[in-house]
Amino acid sequence: MKTALLSVWDKTGVVELAEKLAAENWRLVASGGTARALKEADLAVISVSEITGAPEMFDGRVKTLHPAIHAGILARDTDADRADLAKQDWSTIDLVVVNLYPFEEVVAEPDTSLAKAIEHIDIGGVALLRAAAKNHQRVTVLGSPGDYPKDLASLTDEAFRQKMAFKAFATSARYDNAIQKYFSGLEQEDAPINLSLYPVQSLRYGENPHQSAAYYATSPNAKIMGGNLLQGKALSYNNILDLDSAWNAVQNFDTPTAVVVKHLSPCGIASAPQIEVAIAPAIASDPVSAFGSVIASNREVNAKFVDGMGKLFVECIIAPSFSADAKEILAKKKNLRLLELDITAPRLTHDMRAVVGGFLRQDVDIVPPKNAPEWRVVTQKQPSAEEFAALKFAWRAVQPVKSNAILLAKSDGEKSYTVGIGGGQPNRVDCVRISGERAGDQAAGSVMASDAFFPFLDGVEEAEKMGVTAIIQPGGSIRDDEVIARADELGIAMVFTGMRHFKH
């Protein structure tokens, strides 16, 4: 008679699985709450303590940690191992069904105490997973309700047992990593970073057709970007990059805001009291670049928002939700991807980039950052109320633009919007000129945001030629006094933020 050991926190499907096993004459051994659940279902169950001859101890902290259990799991299919078991009057265990205390879920709860976190660190379950996975040539391990087979014939399939062993080791590694991460946070120390990433979807190709690519996530059952793809073709590598850039940019704003991104660069951003008012000026900022772009909204996309897009061809739209009438209209564009994403989900706190020989890790540049210094008007001319509204908007909008980043914006009392964006050039004055070229006649009367200080006078002088009336920048150059004096001569108001927004 084959023996199954069942010891699960998540009891989804465990009774149904046990019923199938019992129907095929398996002996059922279970611990604690699992044994009670099976007995309530009128199944014949042997408790773990009957096998070990020892009681469960310390409120269940010690149940399965016993040689009678682990010898039964780890015994190989050899005469010598069977003889060793027989000397102790122990039996082999052929199936281990186990899932772990929900440590990750518990520590994700706000204000979880250290004592509560510790009580949700699974010891015996991880030991069972690893022991069964190690001996998968003879033993099957099922580490998740999603793994329970419909047909018990799978339990004798070598390929299935190996697949389940791999998943068990991956679960154990992820679990230990979550515990290490939690305690590293308590100690406020730099610690090794162990990432467990799971393949979610293979992509057609990477940035170019000759590059293979796939999307990985920290959870094996995750969706791309954690969202729901409502329609359209599968997302490509480049789509995902652009969507990520647009989504991060739109989250900089509390007011209804639309962001247009092309090749990781925002080409138009607008905020307004209603989201449908924001989309048209966001596109108008650079309508040429907006062709084939992705659009992000931090409010539900409705039919009026879609009307504001006009006939513009876009690859994707990402938003917290889409109204029924918007979905009906957009359904006619079969290739357009619509991605729905929870705007209230926690933002990333760190990002990592691969470099030759290693990785760089940093805090995410959140706007506005914590403990930001007070802004200072450093020129004789004070910004008007309208200019100050535009400067506030421009400072949030410039953050996602590639350095050297220059952004021109306006505010009309109802909405604030970009009129020209320049970035990604080796010198700042070129970006000033590019922003002016994008803006054209709209540059006159605009304000300018610069992600870092102006090292020379030329950037301010170019701004004056365009008709810029106010500038916001971090300050901090050795030539700040000269730049301020030149702004005074040109009649431009200037505000220092004391904090820069480099984005390389």
The pLDDT score that the predictor gives to residue 14 is 93
**What is the per-residue pLDDT for 196?**
77
Residue 134 falls in the annotated catalytic set: yes
Report all structural domains of the chain as residue ranges with CATH numbers, in order of start: 3-187 (3.40.50.1380), 227-340 (3.40.140.20), 374-496 (3.40.140.20)
183 strand-pairing partners: none
Give the number of other CB atoms < 10 A from CB of residue 230: 17
Tell me what the pLDDT averaged over the chain comes to. Answer: 93
The Cα diameter of the chain in Å comes to 98
pLDDT value at residue 128: 95
Chain segment 62-118, per-residue pLDDT in tens: 878 899 899 999 999 999 989 988 998 899 999 999 999 999 899 888 888 999 999
Q: What single letter denotes the amino acid at residue 45? A: V
Check residue 347 and give its pLDDT. Answer: 86
Measured between alpha carbons, how far is 41 from 223 in angstroms, rounded to an integer?
A: 35
Q: How confident is the model at residue 198 (pLDDT cuts 50, 70, 90)?
A: confident
Which residue intervals of 295-427 are DSSP H helices?
303-308, 324-330, 385-398
Going by DSSP bridges, is the β-strand pair 265-271/257-262 parallel, antiparallel, or unpaired?
antiparallel
Decide if pLDDT at 168 tops 90.
Answer: yes
Among candidate residues 11, 66, 120, 134, the one labeled active-site is 134
Count other Cβ atoms within 10 Å, centred on residue 407: 33
pLDDT surpassing 80 at residue 138: yes
Choosing from 2, 11, 263, 381, which is the catalytic residue? 263
Count Cα neighbours of 38 within 13 Å in the Cβ-side half-sphere.
Answer: 27
CA dihedral 163, 164, 170, 172 (to 10 degrees): -160
- Percent pLDDT > 90 in the chain is 79
Could you tell me if 274 and 256 are in contact, meaning their C-beta atoms sit under 8 angstroms apart? yes
pLDDT beyond 90 at 330? yes
**pTM of the predicted structure, to 2 decimals:** 0.78
For β-strands 314-319 and 293-297, DSSP reports them as parallel
Beta bridge partners of 411: 416
Residue 376: both structure tokens together: 């200072």
pLDDT, position 187? 66
